Amino acid sequence: MEDTMDTYIPFCGAPPLPAELWSRWTLEPTLLIGLALVWVLGWRIAENRLRFAMAWGLVTVLFVSPLCAASIALFSARVGQHILLTLVAAPLLAAALPRLRWPPLPFAALFAGLFWVWHAPAPYQATLESDGAYWAMHISLFAAATLLFATMRARPERALPAAALTGAQLTLYATLLTLAPAAWHGWHIATTPPYGLTALADQQLAGALMWVAGGALFLTSIANLTLRFFRDTHPDRPTS
């Protein structure tokens, strides 16, 4: 790992020390241009521009703010970034774009597969050694999550199996992270001590974030879908 860190600097930069973290904004021109181009395209096709602005604004913060650099040093920061990306920004974007009347279950399976693959040791390490792998991780996770929420929104009567699969796999992953006897990612053995953490403690924090915050956010999204379905099927019935 030390040789890799000496020869390659990850997209968000070298792992920051705590004292420099808040100065580590990622203002790489290609990133800013890409975010701006997607903003222009999304603004043109969005059915709900407020939700689109909220979604893409959050995406911008996740990759421009110091959270990007923190995610190189701390696995818990990377998991927190992914929670916000897939369970907050993705459903907001799904609610802003035209509906996709496809069955949700295949996209739940796709999201689950990508989530587990990208957080496995070898693919995760690849994202720290290659810009291509880094962006493949984030774009594929975000796209799969957006498609999942978009199809559940358009086909709420068929969303229950997809929601059950997604909730179960996220809970299982959080449980394994929290209870694992050893750290999964060797990279963070060297990057976590400045933050007063071992790699295992950092991993357990990531599991707790996924378990509590991720679970709460996913349940909130499902509750919103349920309420929307109730309003669509009973338009004349009061909701309070």
DSSP per position, 91-118: HHHHHHSPP--S-SHHHHHHHHHHHHHH
- CA 7, 10, 11, 13 torsion: positive or negative? negative
pLDDT of 158 strictly over 70: yes
Q: Higher model confidence: residue 81 or residue 220?
A: 81
In a domain, 54, yes or no: yes
In a domain, 205, yes or no: yes
Query: Residue 219's pLDDT is what?
Result: 83
CB-CB neighbours of 40 under 10 Å: 8
In a domain, 94, yes or no: yes
Mean pLDDT (the chain) is 91
Total structural domains within the chain = 1
CA 169 vs CA 108, 156, 176, 215: distances in Å: 10, 20, 11, 11
| Distance in angstroms between the alpha carbons of the first and the last residue of the chain | 57
In a domain, 238, yes or no: no
In a domain, 170, yes or no: yes
SS3 state of residue 181:
coil
- Percent of the chain residues topping a pLDDT of 90: 78
In a domain, 235, yes or no: no
Query: Residue 155's pLDDT is what?
Result: 87
pLDDT, tens digit, for every residue of 46-80?
Answer: 999 999 999 999 999 999 999 999 999 999 999 99
Query: Residue 236's pLDDT is what?
Result: 58
d(CA 102, CA 99): 9
pLDDT of 1 strictly over 60: no
Query: Residue 223's pLDDT is what?
Result: 79
pLDDT of 3 strictly over 60: no
pLDDT of 230 strictly over 80: no
In a domain, 7, yes or no: yes
pTM over the 0.95 mark: no
What confidence tier does 226 reach under pLDDT thresholds 50, 70, 90? Answer: confident
pLDDT of 21 strictly over 70: yes
> Could you tell me the residue range of the domain that residue 36 belongs to?
2-230
d(CA 80, CA 71): 8
H runs (alpha helix) in 48-198:
49-64, 67-73, 75-84, 90-96, 105-118, 121-127, 131-154, 160-179, 187-191
Query: Residue 4's pLDDT is what?
Result: 44
Q: For residue 102, is it left (φ>0), alpha (ψ between -120 and 50) or beta?
A: beta
In a domain, 117, yes or no: yes
